Structure 1
Amino acid sequence: MSEAALSPDEAALLDRVQAPEGQGREILDAATREVIGRAPVQTVADLDDAIARAKAAQPGWEALGHQKRSDLLLQAADAIDARAEALARLLSREQGKPLNGPNARFELGACSAWLRATAATVLEPEVLVDDGETHAELHYKAIGVVGAIGPWNWPLMIAIWQIAPSLRMGNTVVVKPSEYTPLSVLAMISVMNEVLPPDVLIGVSGDREVGARLAAHPDVDKVMFTGSTATGRKIIESSAGNLARLTLELGGNDAGIVLPGTDPKAIAQDLFWGAFINTGQTCAALKRLYVHDSIYDDVVDALKEVAEQTPMGVGLSEDNVLGPLQNTQQFDIVNRLVDDAKARGARIVTGGAPAPELGELFYPITLIADATDGMAVVDEEQFGPVLPIVKYSDVEDAIASANRLDVGLGGSVWGPDRDEARKVAARIQSGTVWINSHGGVHPMIPFGGVKGSGYGLEFGVEGLKSVAVPQIING
């Protein structure tokens, strides 16, 4: 029983949010498969009560004004920082990501950084016409109650991406965390609620029925969802009855294009982490790599060298920077895609089979060379530690391959000539295209997908607008 190994601070946080002994649903450590704690199993009735409380609290929260709300967001960031180590350790157990590297401690730092950046973002009324006869201004006001439905891969950071702008604009928020990672999210919410007024931010831990009700509830005015495209479509259907506004950050299958003349060793580290941050369990991770034939073998070799030097194991070990798959369902998807690639003649450069010596859900970094469009491992989102590498000889073909799928979250172009790379990037059909990097986000740079990767923008001024309703004052 891993509870015995919890630090006092972890145990105190867990006791705030977990179900009483003998109740709830057991949550397992992703790496060791030991029981961490018991997630509350709340019902649709519990959700209805939470939404009613949030709706009642919203006018008073909005009335505080932007400055007071921003001050409270800054205090919430301080509260998270004060408990960051305990939250990071709980996150590492529940999600599987290691403490170090771009993982659990990094995620907690991002949570407080995003709160502070959101608090500091200014959204002033915009004068549209002022010609002596007509004066028209564009203002943004709170929507009401925001329903936030989060994923299991970056459960705290993405929750903050939903919570911070919503609260900043005067909305109240009801959060439904993933069934796989509820404890760490509920713990973070409890820390934030040390400084926030009652019922401004409420977490509800439940199953898919609760999530469906949140999307369809008549008193929910905005739904923010990060997750699969299939679930996003269901949320669109569920929200139709109440015309809730939507921000959907859905699945991706990000392509990277390495242009001729690129130095493989110079880009290997950034390529590796673009693909394998959070052990590949990231929506905007690099998931298929197109490399010019003149440097193909050298890029494969450079990535292999990085992979072999990057330690994987239990996340609470200070030495590891790669962890397990978070759940059995995702492990099975990764295993199926790799097996299919092998059966179709692709070449396994590293990995290629589960690593039971590390634990039940560990799958090593797997580089797949000689992959081709049409293979399942290329056409489907792996969402794990697998990267198919495709050879091309004509850049036009690489661009066509990058654009051939019905997703468009991110993409990247790698090359020594930044102007040439930008020309290629402009032709990639994705919400963001990075040059000589992949997957980095910034609180002031809008982020969102196209095609089957969803719609709506997050972050910065555009992110504030997305959780508000416009009002024209004319006269």
Structure 2
Amino acid sequence: MPSVATNGTNGTNGTKGLPDFQFFNIIDGKRRTSKDHHQVTDPRTEEPLWDAPIASTKDLDDAVEAANRAFKTWKNSTTAERQKAVHDVANVILENVDILTEAQMKETGKSRPMSRFDVERAAWHFEYYRTVALEDELQYEDDTIRIIATHAPIGVLGAISPWNFPLILSTVKVVSALATGNCVIIKPSPFTPYSLLKFCELAQSVLPPGVFQALNGGADLGEQMTLHAGIHHISFTGTIAVGQRILRNCAGTLKKVILELAGNNACIVCDDVDLDKVVPQVATGALFHAGQVCVASKRLYIHESIYDRFLERLIEESKKFAVDDDESVSFGPLSNKANYDRAVGIVEDCKRNGYKIVTGGEVKPREKGFWIPPTIVVRPPEDALVVREEQFAPIVPVMSWAEEDDVIARANIDNAGLGASVYTPDLDRAQKIARQLESGTVWINQFERPHHAGFFGGWKLSGFGGELGKQGLLHYCHTQSLQIAK
């Protein structure tokens, strides 16, 4: 967690050049300060940002009490009432797009265009569930019985959010909870608390008190949420190790759990692709947001017959992801010092082992900021650190393959169950390969981006349960079977 300053201020640090924002924990519809605060570092400048209040154990207990009180009413709201609420929240996001863009831009290091796109995408999630809901389903009927499946909300959701896309990935959890009649307490990553705290504060204008609350803190607060008997459901996006700990914690109270974990995703490029079209797509899949995307192409497998030509074009394409372009819509610094140090360690490991780096490889191309340029590593072995572990940085290992069975086996490692991509104009061949990949989502002839209408969940070490689409709502509900005698 970033360093803590216990200065007792009301959420503004007076740092020159920053908008005069204040940030609060949101409990029972009200803003709450704290005697303890921390400041996040701007990834572009390494300068401190605003004070963010740190929630106490009492704050958590108060929020849980308020959520359970609100749930008694909210769970009985109609589908129409919930859909109006999510539409109203979407409008709140769009009406405050400049504020949310600024806060997220500063905390993540994203450019203004990239941050604004994220804010607008967050609103799309709410608009999608304005028209999508779970209905009662007739499961079986004969002369003696009629069986109906209905879907009841679980209760209070504890949502623990990541730092790479604070608003996009968090709003998936929030809207899924609200649309199904649950209440939600969200904990932002301590690296990116600002946009979520501000979003929750703004949303209070259109939601009943206690239905949506926000508490800022570090791993200790997340641990308390997973163990709290008054929280009935956890949704977490983050690392495998933390996800496993959460699953163990939740076993004590048999909480429902959704985990989206690491995705060391494979990208398979076949020998029949159009390089002019495919290389830019693959480069975007690997380097967008400096590789800090859960489903980014982390391992490239290029057919050996086109490997050299593909690599040459990929090197040129990577130069378009400039580290000195503050208005880039696709690239930026690494979002925090911890991830930067981890990425530097991967680059250093490649150099120590003599792996061929054909572009990039430098660190600190700027005097300030957590920048690493696009770095391409040629044919490292499968047991190399840069291959076996998710880089979450613009460091791209590029391997070759000849036989489909071989590349599929290499793709299907245990920490690669979140996403994958396949490029070939032969759609029968593409689906044949895709259906053999042990991954929750496979993108065919496109770079990897989750779609709000498509179910999204990891397999194996990459996750547990899932979200998005109509099917994702099932993971926020109990299914009740009504068996009616005739």
TM-score class normalised by the smaller sequence: over 0.9
What is the identity, as a one-letter code, of the residue corresponding to 1:348? I
- Residue 290 of structure 1 corresponds to 301
Q: Displacement, 1:132?
A: 2.8
Matches of 1:63 and 1:282, distance apart in 2: 37
Alpha carbons of structure 1 residues 195 and 443: separation in structure 2 relative to 1, 3 Å: same
CA distance in 2, matches of 1:411, 1:130: 40
Higher deviation after alignment, 223-232 or 278-287: 278-287
> Offset at 1:12?
4.3
RMSD value, Cα: 1.9
SS in 1 for 2:75: helix
| Richer in helix (by share) | 1
Question: TM-score, normalized by length of structure 2?
Answer: 0.92
* Alpha-carbon distance in structure 2 between the residues aligned to 1:394 and 1:265: 24
Aligned twin of 1:119: 130
From 371, 381, 390, the counterpart of 2:380: 371
Instruction: Pick from 28, 34, 38 the counterpart of residue 51 of structure 2.
Output: 38
Runs (5+) with no aligned partner, structure 1: none
Question: 1:331 and 2:340 equivalent?
Answer: yes
Task: Report the Cα offset of residue 14 of structure 1.
Answer: 4.6
Q: Do the aligned partners of residues 358 and 462 (structure 1) sit closer, same or farther apart at CA in structure 2, a change above 3 Å counting? A: farther
Q: Look up the match of 1:413.
A: 422
Corresponding position of 2:432 = 423
Aligned partners of 2:38, 2:176: CA distance in 1, in Å? Answer: 31
- Asked if 1:72 corresponds to 2:81, the answer is no
Within 5 Å, give how 1:436-451 maps onto structure 2: 436-451=445-460
Q: Does 1:55 align with 2:64?
A: no
- Distance in 2 (CA, whole Å) between partners of 1:55 and 1:195 is 19
Contact 1:54 1:172 in 2 (8 A): yes
Q: Distance between the aligned counterparts of 1:58 and 1:405, measured in 2?
A: 38
Cα distance, 1:320 vs structure 2: 6.0
* Residue 2 of structure 1, CA deviation: 8.1
Structure 2 residue 207 is matched with structure 1 residue 196: yes
- Between 103-112 and 22-31, the greater mean CA deviation after superposition: 22-31
CA, structure 1 residues 229+69, in 2 after alignment: closer, same or farther (shift >3 Å)? Answer: same
Preserved contact between residue 258 and residue 415 of structure 1 (Cα < 8 Å): yes
Q: CA deviation at 1:228?
A: 0.3
Number of aligned residues: 468
- The alignment status of 1:345 with 2:357, answered yes or no, reads no
Gaps of 5+ in 2: 1-12
- 1:170 corresponds to: 181
Taking every aligned residue pair, what percent have the same amino acid on both sides?
Answer: 33
Q: CA deviation at 1:415?
A: 1.2
- Name the SS of the counterpart of 1:251 in structure 2: coil
Residue 109 (str. 1) matches residue 114 (str. 2): no
Tell me how far apart the structure 1 counterparts of residues 150 and 115 of structure 2 sit (CA, whole Å).
38
> What pairs up with 1:68-467 in 2 under 5 angstroms?
68-100=81-113, 103-313=114-324, 317-319=326-328, 321-357=330-366, 359-467=368-476
CA distance in 2, matches of 1:222, 1:366: 40
Gap change, CA 1:116 and 1:145, over 3 Å in 2: same
CA–CA distance in 2 between the matches of 1:263 and 1:70?
44
Distance 2:256 2:447 in 1: 29
Deviates more, 1:17-26 or 1:376-385: 17-26
Aligned amino acid, residue 67 of structure 2: A
CA contact (8 A) 1:151 1:177 kept: yes
**Whole-Å Cα distance in 2 between the matches of residues 462 and 136 of structure 1?**
20
Q: For 1:352-387, what per-residue CA distance to the aligned partner results, in whole angstroms no more than 9, with x for missing partners?
A: 021342523111111111222111100011011111
Deviation at 1:184, TM superposition (A): 1.2
| Alpha-carbon distance in structure 1 between the residues aligned to 2:157 and 2:316 | 46
Deviates most, 144-153 or 329-338: 329-338
Residues 251-308 of structure 1 deviation map (CA, whole Å, 9 limit, x = unaligned): 1100011111222221112111111222111111110001111111111111111111
1:13 offset after TM fit, Å?
5.9
Contact 1:377 1:388 in 2 (8 A): yes
- With over 3 angstroms needed to count, the CA separation of the structure-2 counterparts of 1:143 and 1:107, relative to structure 1, is same
Asked if the contact 1:174/1:203 (under 8 Å) is kept, the reply is: yes
Q: Measured at CA, do residues 14 and 220 of structure 1 come closer, stay the same or move farther in structure 2, by a change above 3 Å? A: closer
Normalising by structure 1, we get a TM-score of: 0.94
How far apart, CA to CA, are the structure 2 residues paired with 1:460 and 1:143?
18
Q: Secondary structure at the match of 2:189?
A: coil
Structure 1 range deviating more: 300-309 or 158-167 = 300-309
Counterparts of 2:327 and 2:466 in 1: how far apart (Å)? 36
Distance 1:344 1:405, change over 3 A: farther
Deviations 1:184-217 (A, max 9, x none): 1101111212211111101011121110110111
Q: State the one-letter code of the partner of 1:134.
A: I
2:3 is matched with none
Give the drift of 1:404: 3.1
Cα distance in 2, alignment partners of residues 69 and 282 from structure 1: 31
